[in-house]
Every structure is written in structure tokens, then in C-alpha cells.
């Protein structure tokens, strides 16, 4: 069935098993890993798979380096927040906010692309960084609309909150409430967006993008309008990033600069793309899952290791949970060293 959708199968038995494990884990996460923290982690993985894949659509397939991706993510998130805050809770508010965020992102990406994509890659990256920084400052200044540095807390439809009970009985000891519905709304929308991107990169449009990535002068010479194609993929990528931001905002019920616009998110996206493997949608699945799990569970695992090695000299100090960022950085360095083409690239090479 997957080949009918995209003709882009994992092409590796080990990768297929990993992807199936991730897919099944996310699909049944509320039942397999009960608890609010595990559901939060699963929701974050689902959102970041879409966000990372949308960035890889632009970087790995279009060869475009941009630092404005969190801005588009923020458009979607703030669209939901502002619409819900001004229009009140309701599915119509969510729809208006999501559509507005997606349209604004797509239009902004077209304008940025037409103005800036004629310059060399590094200059385009600097331009997008400047625009994203300016937007972050603007969000902080327009506190009456965006909540400034404090962000916006808002209400979503009651059917998507824990207060709503779909049924009194539990399924595998899990309450069937609005939070569960919210999770599956996020999961299935994320899965749909990912399949759309998978179809795009395996379409004739995707083939042209790969040709432009490999040699833009040759692609221009045989008749392709390189700027138009790059602008189109930037706009598509931005719209999907905004949709991911909207889903994340519905899940969190809070939007602020730290959750939608921070430089840390942009760095995380780059790390996930590199870990998973550029130029392959499946890399976004693996990279986002590995990175988010490490972010959420590396510190507790280090505490377990400290408790287990207390009698030994020096090791407990090295494994102190406060040093988790150091070890996360080392894991990233090792992954780049042993998997220069990303985890997916190495697995595909080995079959």
C-alpha cells in the first residue's frame, strides 16, 4: 500500500523494522506507555517528524539552507493562539487560526523566495536568519496581540480537553477522554502531512528538485525555472511547518516565544535532519524520534547509571544528570562520525 502512495519504500529490512516500531509505538502510545509524560513525548515526536520532514523537503531535496523555519512554525502556532483567544473556544476558531497561519506562512515564503533565492545559498541563509530574528522581536513587542514574552494561554474545545469523557469505562486502564482524542487528532493529521510530503518528493516535481539540488546550472540550462521551483518548495515547506505549529498549539494550549520561535528549536531541527539523514523523508521519522527520546529520557537514564556506579571513582561525577547536554552533544558527534549520511542513509547502504 505504501508503494502505491509514494513508491518510496525503506529499502532496508532493519530500517523497515525500526519504522514499524516507531509507527506502532506512536499509534498505540497512550496504551503502551500510560502516563502524561510518555503521551507528551509521543505528541512531540509526531509534531517534530512533520516539522523536520518539512525542513528536509527544503534542505535535503531543494538544497536550500534556511534559518526561518521556526518563524513559519510560529505562524501556525500563533494563528491558533490568537484565533482561540479572540474568537473563543471552538472548532471554528481552530480552523480559522490554522488556515490563517498556513496562508500567511505560504505567502511570506513566496515573498522571501522571490526576493532572496537568486542569491547564493549562504546569503539566502543569512537573509532568512535576519527575517526570523526580526519576527521574533516583533512578537515580543506586540504584547497586546501575542502576549509578548509571557505568551498566550487559551482555551480549546472542551471535546479536546481531559474534562471531556467520551465514555466512562476505561480501555486497558486508559481513560477515553478529550486528551486522548486530542492526541489522535494530532497523530493522524501528522501522519497525513507526512504522507503528503512523501508523495511530493516522489512526484515529477520532486525529481526536478533533486536535479536542481545536484546541479542548478544544468537544470536551468535544460529549461527549468530554478527560482520558481525553489520558491514553490519553500512555500510548501513553510505551509506544512505552519500546520505542524498549529497542531502543537492545539496540544499545548499555550504559545510563547520559547515554544514556537526559539533558536533552540531551529538548532534541534538541524540536528534531527543530520541524525536521520538528509534527502530522505524517513530520516525525519528516525531523527526526530531518537532526538526527542534523548531529550526527554537521557537525564533519568544517567541518574540510574549514577546510582549503579556509586562505588566507583570518577564515573558517577562524569554521569551526573546535570551534564546531560554534554553527553547529548557527544552522542550527536558519534552519530555524525559513524553515520555521515544519517542513520537512514547507512541502513539503506547496508541493506
* Percent of the chain surpassing pLDDT 90: 54
Decide if pLDDT at 211 tops 60: yes
Residue 118 phi, psi dihedral angles, 5° rounding: -80, -15
Q: What is the pLDDT of residue 156?
A: 95
Instruction: Round to whole Å and give the CA distance between 41 and 25.
Output: 11
Instruction: Round to whole Å and give the CA distance between 317 and 135.
Output: 42
Supply the mean pLDDT for the chain: 90
Task: Average the pLDDT over each of 4-8, 136-140, 261-265 and give the range with the smallest value.
Answer: 4-8
**Banded model confidence at residue 250, pLDDT cuts 50, 70, 90:** very high
Q: Domain 2-350 classified CATH 1.10.3470?
A: yes
* pLDDT tens digits, one per residue of 157-174: 999 999 898 887 788 788
More confident position, 45 or 308:
45
Do 183 and 32 form a contact (C-beta atoms < 8 A)? no
Q: What is the pLDDT of residue 5?
A: 56
Q: What is the pLDDT of residue 4?
A: 45
Q: What is the pLDDT of residue 1?
A: 47
**CB proximity list for 298: less than 8 A, separation 6 or greater:** 324, 327, 328
Please give the grid coordinates belonging to residue 10. 525503506
Mean pLDDT (whole number) for 325-338: 83
pTM of the full predicted structure?
0.93
* pLDDT tens digits, one per residue of 87-141: 988 999 999 999 999 999 999 999 988 887 766 667 788 888 899 999 999 998 9
Instruction: Round to whole Å and give the CA distance between 291 and 187.
Output: 18
**CB proximity list for 76: less than 8 A, separation 6 or greater:** 98, 101, 102, 105, 241, 242, 243, 244, 245, 246, 247, 248, 249
Amino acid at each position: 500500500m505504501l508503494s502505491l502512495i509514494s513508491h518510496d519504500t525503506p529499502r532496508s529490512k532493519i530500517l523497515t523494522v525500526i519504522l514499524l516500531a516507531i509507527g506502532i509505538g506512536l499509534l498505540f502510545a497512550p496504551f503502551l506507555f500510560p502516563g502524561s509524560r510518555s503521551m507528551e513525548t509521543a505528541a512531540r515526536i509526531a509534531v517534530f517528524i512533520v516539522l523536520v520532514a518539512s525542513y528536509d523537503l527544503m534542505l535535503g531535496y531543494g538544497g536550500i539552507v534556511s534559518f526561518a523555519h521556526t518563524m513559519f512554525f510560529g505562524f501556525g502556532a500563533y494563528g491558533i493562539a490568537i484565533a482561540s483567544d479572540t474568537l473563543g473556544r471552538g472548532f471554528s476558531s481552530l480552523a480559522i487560526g490554522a488556515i490563517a497561519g498556513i496562508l500567511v506562512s505560504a505567502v511570506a515564503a513566496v515573498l522571501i523566495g522571490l526576493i532572496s533565492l537568486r542569491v547564493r545559498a549562504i546569503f539566502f541563509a543569512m537573509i532568512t536568519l535576519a527575517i526570523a530574528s526580526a519576527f521574533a522581536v516583533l512578537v515580543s513587542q506586540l504584547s497586546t496581540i501575542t502576549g509578548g514574552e509571557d505568551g498566550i494561554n487559551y482555551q480549546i474545545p472542551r471535546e479536546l480537553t481531559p474534562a471531556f469523557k467520551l465514555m466512562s469505562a476505561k480501555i486497558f486502564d486508559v481513560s477515553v477522554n478529550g486528551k486522548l482524542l486530542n492526541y489522535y487528532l494530532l497523530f493522524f493529521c501528522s501522519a497525513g502531512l507526512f504522507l503528503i510530503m512523501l508523495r511530493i518528493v516522489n512526484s515529477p516535481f520532486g525529481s526536478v528538485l533533486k536535479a536542481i539540488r545536484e546541479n542548478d546550472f544544468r537544470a536551468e540550462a535544460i529549461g527549468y525555472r530554478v527560482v520558481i521551483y525553489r520558491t514553490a518548495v519553500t512555500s510548501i515547506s513553510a505551509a506544512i511547518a505552519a500546520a505542524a505549529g498549529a497542531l502543537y498549539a492545539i496540544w499545548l494550549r499555550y504559545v510563547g516565544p520559547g515554544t514556537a520561535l526559539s533558536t533552540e528549536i531551529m538548532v534541534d531541527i538541524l540536528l534531527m535532519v543530520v541524525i536521520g539523514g538528509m534527502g530522505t523523508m524517513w530520516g525525519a521519522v528516525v531523527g526526530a524520534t531518537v532526538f526527542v527520546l534523548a531529550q526527554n529520557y537521557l537525564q533519568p537514564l544517567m541518574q540510574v547509571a549514577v546510582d549503579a556506579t556509586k562505588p566507583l571513582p570518577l564515573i558517577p561525577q562524569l554521569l551526573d544528570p546535570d551534564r546531560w547536554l554534554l553527553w547529548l552533544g557527544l552522542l550527536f558527534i558519534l552519530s555524525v562520525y559513524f553515520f555521515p549520511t544519517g542513520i537512514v542513509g547507512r541502513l539503506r547502504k547496508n541493506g
